[in-house]
Amino acid sequence: MDDEKRSENHDEMPLIEESNEFSSSLQNDIAGENEHEIYAILYPMARDLELIELSTASFELGRSVNLNEGYNFDELRKRRIKNTISRKHCCFKRDNIEGITYLLDTSQSGTFVNGKLIGKDNSYRLQHGDLISLCDEKFYVFLYKETKKIINDPFPLELTNQYLVSNFVIGKGAMGKVYVGKRRFHPSVTVAVKAIPKKHISIIQGQQLNGSAPEVIKREAKILLSVKHPNCIHFEQMYDSNTMAYIVTEYIEGGELYTRIAKWKIFGGFTENLTKFYAWQIFRALNYLHTNGIVHRDIKAENILLLKSDVYTLVKVADFGLSDRIEHSLRSFCGTKCYMAPEQWKSENYGCKVDIWALGALIFTCLYGYQPFSTNHGEKKLKEQILQGRLLFFHERWKRVSVTARNFIRQCLRVNPEKRFSAQEALSEKWFQDPIVKEARHIVKRYARKINSRFPVKDE
C-alpha cells in the first residue's frame, strides 16, 4: 500500500512541476506581449518637453540616460533647473502581471508626486492622473495617464479636450476641491481646476446660501467672467455636468496667505510694512469689485492668494463662491464667522462694508499673528465680541504697531457700517502714504503690463 502511495505521489510530481513551468511560461508570455503595449502616457507639463508613451518594463528620466530606455533632459539647456536634474533621476518600473507602475527615485535633488517627495531609493505606486515634479515640487514635468483609464477619466470630455487635469489637490474652497492642470495645447500654462459637487452646494444652501445649486454655480461663473483686475483671480472657462461643475482659473503658485500667516505666527505676525504691502493690494481689488457692484462676502486669509513664493509679491482675491451683486438687498448668513461683520450676525441688510470689516480683521491677524475676536468661548461669546466691536489684544504686541495702523484697523472694524471706511476711502488714508505702497503699485503695474491683454494698466 505504501509503495502504491509512493508510486502515486511519484507519478503526480512531474505534473506539478510541469504545471509550474507552464504557469511561469504563461506569465512570461503575458509579460512579453504586454512589454510593447502602451500602458501609460506622460503628458508634458513644461515648455520644451515631449509627450512620452510608456511601453517598456523600465523607463528612465535624467540628463544622461540611454535614449532607447529613457528620456534625456540634456537638451533643456535654457532651463537653469536642468543642472539640478540627476544623470539618472528617476525610473518608471512596470509590473505587467499586476498592471501596476512604480516610480523609483534615484536622484539627489528629489522626485515628487502630487507635491510629495518620494525620497532617494524609494518607490511610489503611480495612479492615473498623478503629477510628477523634479527637483522642486512646483517644477511640474509630466502628468501620468494610464491608457485604459483615459476613456473613463472622471472629468468631462469637454474639459479634458482642452485641459490636462491632475490628481494634485492644491486647495479646498467653500464648495469644492481645486486641482492643478495645464492647457492641453499650451503645456507651459498651468491652471487651477475647481471641481464643485452640486449635491455639496445643496448642503451649503442649508447655511442660507442664496439660490439652487445651478444658480450658485452660474452666479460664480458670471461674476468671474466679469472680473478683470490684476489683483483678482482670472477666470478661463467653465464646464458643467449633471452632478459636477468645473471652473478653470489661472494657477497661483505662491499659495494662500493663510499658510504664510501660520509660518510667521511664531514671530508674532508680519511686519507692518509687509502687512501694508498686502493690504493695499487687497483694498485695490475690493475697490474694483465694489465699484462694479460686487460684494465678495468671504474675505479671509484662505481666499487671498500669492502669485509667487517671494515675500513681497502680487496678491489676488480668489474664491467668489459666496459673492453676489448688489442688485438687491443682501441678508444671507454667509462668510466665515470670525470675519463676519455685525450686520451679518444681526441678519440686517448689508452691502460692501462687510468686506471692509473682514479685511480689517485680516489686517489685525497679519499684524499680530492671532484673530481679533476669540473663538475659544463658543459662538455666543464670539457674536457678543463682534456686535460690541471688542477687540482681543495683548499689550506688548499691540504697542509695537504704529498708532496710524491701530487707528486704521479701528476704522475698518467700526460696528456701524455707515462709519466704516469704504475701499476708496481706505486707499487714500495716511497709513498707505508710504514708500512700500509705491513698491506694491510698481509690482502690480508691471504684472498688468505683462498680461495687458487681460487688464488695463491704470493707476488708482
Q: Is 199 annotated as a binding residue?
A: yes
* Grid coordinates belonging to 425: 476711502
Q: Which of 105, 130, 240, 298 is catalytic?
A: 298
Alpha-carbon distances, residue 445 vs 217, 226, 235, 251, 278 (angstroms): 31, 20, 20, 19, 15
Q: Are the C-beta atoms of residues 42 and 54 closer than 8 Å to each other?
A: yes
Find the farthest-apart pair of alpha carbons in the chain and give their distance in angstroms, rounded: 108
Other beta carbons within 10 angstroms of residue 209's beta carbon come to 23
The verdict on whether 48 is a catalytic residue reads no
Who's near 313: CB < 8 A, 6+ residues apart? 254, 306, 307, 443
* CA nearest neighbour of 422 among 361, 334, 359: 359
User: CA–CA distance from 396 to each of 70, 400, 408 (Å)?
Assistant: 60, 7, 19
| Rounded Cα gap, residues 427 and 92, in angstroms | 54
Q: How far apart are CA 128 and CA 147, in angstroms?
A: 9
Say which amino acid occupies 221: A
The beta-carbon contacts of 139-142 under 8 Å, at least 24 apart in sequence, are 139/46, 139/81, 140/45, 140/46, 140/180, 140/182, 140/190, 141/44, 141/45, 141/46, 141/49, 141/61, 142/42, 142/43, 142/44, 142/45, 142/49, 142/52
Rounded CA gap, 131 and 35, in Å? 24
CA 376 to centroid of chain Cα atoms = 29
CA distance 78 to 97: 40
First to last CA, the chain: 105
Q: Which residue has the cell 471692509?
A: 356
CA distance 434 to 432: 5
What is the number of other CB atoms lying within 10 angstroms of the CB of residue 17?
Answer: 10
Q: How far apart are CA 22 and CA 95, in angstroms?
A: 20
DSSP 233-288: PPEEEEEE-SSEEEEEEE--TT-BHHHHHHHHGGGTS--HHHHHHHHHHHHHHHHH
> Active-site residue numbers?
298
Going by the annotation, the residues of the binding site for ATP are 199
Going by the annotation, the residues of the binding site are 199
